[in-house]
Amino acid sequence: MKYIDSKKLSETQFKRYTGISWSTFYLMVEQLQKHIPAKGRPSKLSIEDQILLCLSYWREYRTLFHVATSYGVSEPTASRIVRHVEIA
């Protein structure tokens, strides 16, 4: 589920889907924004979608192939996003 769709979820529904609260999600967004490279090609996914991709991968134990397909990116891109979020 992309960020634009998840904004419609209540606090309880969002926590049930992701395992974290909205406030924790926004703290994660703030932290990840600090680690965005100033140069280079911009990511195809927004920061919020990158975090949701990772949360989906961690919480649902889906393969990177399935997560990547859900977000419209390649499997290697999904892997890079997960590593980037984990490091940040």
CA distances in angstroms from 23 to 28, 29, 62, 81, listed in the order given: 9, 10, 25, 21
End-to-end CA distance of the chain: 22
- Determine the Cα–Cα distance for residues 64 and 38; give it in Å rounded to an integer: 27
Q: Is residue 1 part of a domain?
A: no
What residue numbers bound the domain in which 68 lies?
8-36+44-87
Q: Is residue 82 part of a domain?
A: yes
Q: Is residue 14 part of a domain?
A: yes
Q: Is residue 2 part of a domain?
A: no
How many domains does the chain divide into? 1
DSSP state of 44: S
- Per-position pLDDT tens, the chain of length 88: 899 889 999 999 999 999 999 999 999 999 999 888 778 888 899 999 999 999 999 999 999 999 999 999 999 999 999 999 998 8
Q: Is residue 3 part of a domain?
A: no
DSSP state of 8: T
The Cα angle at residue 74 between residues 83 and 51, in degrees rounded to 5: 40
Helices and strands of the chain, counted as H and E runs: 6, 0
